[in-house]
A and B are shown apart, each in its own frame.
Chain A
Amino acid sequence: MSEDLPAETVGETKATKEAKETEAAREAAGPLHAQQAEESRAAGAPKAGKSSRSARAGKKSGAAGATKGVKADEKPVEPVAPLDWSNPLRDPQDRRLPRIAGPSGLVIFGVTGDLSRRKLMPAVYDLANRGLLPPGFSLVGFARRDWENQDFAEVVHDAVKEHARTPFREEVWQQLAEGMRFIPGDFDDDEAFEQLRKAVQELDTSRGTSGNYAFYLSVPPKFFPKVVQQLKKHGLTDAPEGSWRRAVIEKPFGHDLGSARELNALVHEVFDPEQVFRIDHYLGKETVQNILALRFANQMYEPIWNRSYVDHVQITMAEDIGIGGRAGYYDGIGAARDVIQNHLLQLMALTAMEEPAAFDARSLLTEKLKVLRAVRLPDDLGAHTVRGQYEGGWQGGAQVPGYLEEEGIDPASTTDTYAAIKLGIDNRRWAGVPFYLRTGKRLGRRVTEIAVVFQRAPHSPFDSTATEELGENAIVIRVQPDEGMTVRFGSKVPGTSMEIRDVSMDFAYGESFTESSPEAYERLILDVLLGDANLFPRHQEVEESWRILDPIEEYWSTHGKPAQYASGGWGPREADEMLARDGRSWRRP
């Protein structure tokens, strides 16, 4: 996914990018969530009677989640105040008042990068436009550019105008622009960090940010140590009494278990584990959060959500673009590390996990970890995993190069651009149900979906000719694009003879809650400022995911070569054979 790329890398290689790919990447994050409370209530609208109660409960547990983090590191998140103080203007009954982040500021490292311009700055503006940022919110940019504050403001202005989701409003912009600062400098430039420290202090007095800052490291991972050390050295990570300092980091979180542990140790040395927010923008997506609503707020799905009814689960994330200008980042990493380790395993965990005790970060972590720990790899990795590389050819009417012909790629590279693996989950609910995870570049179209495929009916009173065209029932959660859900089942074809064919029943977010879905980054940035960690994978999950993937990567590095597959198709023949061995086949998403 190109938008996952650390921002500076993208920025540097931007020139080599095809316009098409930028476009695709821009769409990639897709629309998402509003103030969680608000939207879930809109969703519950048809059953107005009950929704009020559950919505209130949701809000309460959200608050509990926020304070939980506080207890763990024994630092109050809110400024000092009498302990029994509660804001008389707030009331759980008053659900019009949005969750506004407390006084705070955001410092972005690598602010000139693509991600920052395309996603972060517009998200900050959209939040401000929706009135969710605190008065006095400040945005500090840090990068290697010879800019003044107003140059920075202009860059943000352009980024916002081009990429923001909500209409541009001068008054909102003014409010935001007053709190913008820019610090030019390198990451090993002590003077620049000293300047940053002063800027932060100045903002505390001039804007009232109360010492609360989130540091967004939108930089390649090799710079993490440097930046983190510099922050520590210059006292930027020492939160004054009663305030917080948080770190926001983007993937990749290492390239195997060892390196992930190293990285975590490094960051945790400076920031409390509870104060480190790892962005997996998929988790900010409406549909992904809806997996939990679908499963745990409804009665009709959970009874069949187990091995007695489910035949298997397919989780797919396909991209129609190649690696674009990301050769330097991608080669040696590959699809499995880039996508399966984080996005797909997270989607799998949410699909397979047990009901959490509450909707808060700790309970979610507990359940996700339980599932990840129960994951079992197939005994024969050769028969149940497949990797591939795209060949040159024609895709969607355009001629495209093969992976080995891409600029900057070693013609002998064995990096996978396609990966498919089969996993089992050893627990009572899922024993014997395979989870097939696949991802690839230059596939038929851009799509991410979770398909829960059900067993066939144990007995059919209809004769076999009547059910010839009947497939397996399935619930498909479409994560992107066209967020929504499809239920596939058999239905009688109109006419005199008895003939049963598959039909789809569709729920689309675009139909039921158009336009109000915020971008994933909006939601995630707001959650960082609120200290709500529900949607952020914790370091234990990251390490557990590497534990799952490492043996596969190891096997691949010593056995054979990636299979070649035609661009614009649905992956190598070997992947089809892999499922055929189990008597199954991939869905065409």
Chain B
Amino acid sequence: MRIDLTDTTASKINKALVQGRRAIGTPAVGMVLTLVIVTDEENAYDSIKAAEEASHEHPSRTLVVIKRHPRNLRDRTRSHLDAEVRVGSEAGTGETVVLRMYGEVSEHADSVVLPLLLPDAPVVVWWPVDAPDDPAGDPLGALAQRRITDLYAVERPMETLERRVRTYAPGDTDLAWTRLTLWRSMLAAALDQARVPVTSATVEAEADNPAAELLARWLEARLHVTVDRVITDGPVVTAVRLGTANGEIVIDRPEGPIATMTLPDQPPRSLALKVRSTSELIAEELRRLDADEMYAIALRGEAGKETPVHV
């Protein structure tokens, strides 16, 4: 069911949530986390949909913070908060509150969000677009254990990437990194089989792809080799080549979801290596709620010289 509240406050929203749950007959549900989505009106629909799909795996309270910029001056100065409370079938397996903030209140979104967080449960903030320069320093980001940004949704990904390196705080993560998990696990599996030291590496990808850059940095940090970046037509990452004394290990995905893996002295094999949907990426992100240390290492690359102590 859906309850609309205009010109409201957090305590009225809390009341509406209890009322909504009572009405559908589930006074308490086992929600495991609060997901705060900070977005604009344009991206709200897709983000909510992805979060709802992900909520099948992680029942959560989703708070969607939309900052509105009214056209006329009078509305712009009048500060108010509208809310839409969705429970039951309208909100996946959890509950969703869409918060639309006008005027000054949008500068104080954290004051609205804080009373609506689930007791005890972890908080995740996700900026599908327009992530702040310093996610951990952001008032909303500061409430969260985990802060999800997306380098694919920025205009100059490489510049933003450098900024992320500087502002990294434990708990930060990026969907560009999440997109690499399949690649990384296949590369690790390839090396499991080859069992030889890697002497050189190449990442082939479309130009200015932040995921490719993260992949290259990860390989540099882990393999202690210089990784060549080769620009191709894409889509996204098209191949990774690891040079070894016995020959080359190649995972090649020229197009489509099927990749080919070639190991020295072994027949080539095909692998399913598809590009995953946002909801799958978010579901993966929500599985871990502690800091992703490997992301930090990949982000800093070899420059950070941050080799984990226990290998």
Residues from chain A with Cβ under 8 Å of B178 in the complex:
96
Near B by CB (< 8 A), chain A positions 125-150 give 128-129, 131, 134-136
CA distance A30 to B288 in the complex (A): 25
Q: Contact flags (1/0) for B264-285 with A, using CB distance below 8 Å?
A: 0011011111100000000010
Taken together as a complex, chains A and B put the C-alpha atoms of A516 and B280 apart, in Å, by 12
Indicate if the CB atoms of A511 and B270 lie closer than 8 Å.
Answer: no
- The reply to whether B57 and A96 form a contact with Cβ atoms under 8 Å apart is no
How far, in angstroms, from A178 to B267 measured CA to CA in the complex?
12
Q: Judging by beta carbons under 8 Å apart, are B258 and A210 in contact? A: no
Cα-based distance from A98 to B274 in the complex (angstroms): 16
Please tell me which stretch of B43-51, B132-140, B155-163, B192-200 contacts chain A, meaning at least 4 of its Cβ atoms lie within 8 angstroms of it. Answer: B192-200
Asked if A206 lies at the interface with its beta carbon under 8 angstroms from chain B, I say yes
Write the chain A residue with the least CB distance to B257: A171
B290 touches A515 (CB 8 A): no
**Chain A residue with minimal CB distance to B218?**
A89
- Residues of chain B lying within 8 A (CB to CB) of residue A41: 287-288
State the Cβ distance, A169 to closest chain B Cβ, in Å.
7
CB nearest neighbor in B for A90? B188
Stretch from B68-76, B106-114, B179-187 contacting the other chain: B179-187
Our count of residue pairs bridging A and B at CB distance below 8 angstroms stands at: 152
Using known A-B contacts A51-B290, A96-B288, A135-B271, determine if residue A514 contacts B185 with beta carbons closer than 8 Å: no
In Å, the complex CA distance between A91 and B185 comes to 11
Give A512 to B32 CA distance when docked, in angstroms.
6
A136 touches B269 (CB 8 A): yes
State the CA gap A89–B196 with chains docked (Å).
12
B93 touches A97 (CB 8 A): no
Residues from chain A with a CB closer than 8 A to the CB of B292 are 96
Inter-chain contact B269/A89, CB cutoff 8 Å: no
Q: Which residue on B lies nearest to A38, using beta carbons? A: B287
Question: How near does chain B come to A340, taking the closest CB pair, in angstroms?
Answer: 33
CB atoms of A174 and B269 under 8 A apart = no
* Chain B contacts for A92, CB-based, 8 A: 310
Select B120's contact among A46, A102, A175, beta carbons within 8 Å: A46
Chain B interface size, as a band, is 35 or more
A240 to chain B, nearest CB (A): 15
A265: interface (CB < 8 Å): no
- A136-B269, A208-B267 known; A511-B29 Cβ under 8 A: yes
- Judged by a CB distance under 8 angstroms, whether A42 is at the interface is yes
B10 at the interface (CB under 8 A from A): no
Is A131 a contact partner of B185 (Cβ separation < 8 A)?
yes
Q: Which of A79-87, A375-383, A539-547 contacts B (4 or more CB under 8 A)?
A: A79-87
When C-beta atoms are compared, the residue in chain B nearest to A43 turns out to be: B32
Chain A residue total in the interface (Cβ 8 A): 56
Beta-carbon nearest neighbor of A87 in chain B: B191
Q: How far is the CB of B291 from chain A (nearest CB, A)?
A: 8
Are B267 and A207 neighbours in the complex by a CB distance under 8 Å?
yes
Question: Roughly how many angstroms separate A263 CA and B109 CA in the complex, as a whole number?
Answer: 68
Partner of A514, one of B93, B273, B287, B288: B93
A208→B187 CA distance, assembly (Å): 16
Please measure, in the bound complex, the distance between the C-alpha atom of A284 and the C-alpha atom of B145, giving whole angstroms.
Answer: 32
* Inter-subunit contact B58/A42 (CB<8 Å): yes
Evaluate whether A89 and B188 lie within 8 angstroms (CB atoms) in the complex, with A135-B271, A171-B272 already known. yes
Given contacts A93-B294, A96-B181, A514-B59, contact A178 B270 (CB under 8 A): yes
Q: Indicate if the CB atoms of A100 and B293 lie closer than 8 Å.
A: no
| Complex interface: chain B residues within 8 A of A48 (CB) | 122, 145, 289-290
Residues A93 and B193 in contact, CB atoms below 8 Å apart? no
Q: In the assembly, what is the distance between CA of A238 and CA of B59, in Å?
A: 49
Check if A86 sits within 8 Å of B311, measured CB to CB. yes
Give the interface centre of B181, B224, B270 by most chain A CB atoms within 10 Å: B270
**Is residue B165 contacting chain A, with contact meaning CB distance below 8 A?**
no
4 tightest Cβ-Cβ pairs between the two chains A and B: A171-B257, A81-B195, A52-B290, A511-B30
Q: List 27 A-B contacts (CB under 8 A).
A: A45-B121, A45-B289, A46-B32, A48-B290, A51-B289, A78-B195, A79-B193, A85-B195, A87-B191, A87-B192, A89-B187, A91-B311, A96-B184, A96-B288, A129-B272, A134-B189, A134-B193, A135-B269, A169-B272, A169-B274, A171-B272, A171-B274, A174-B258, A175-B271, A208-B193, A208-B266, A515-B56
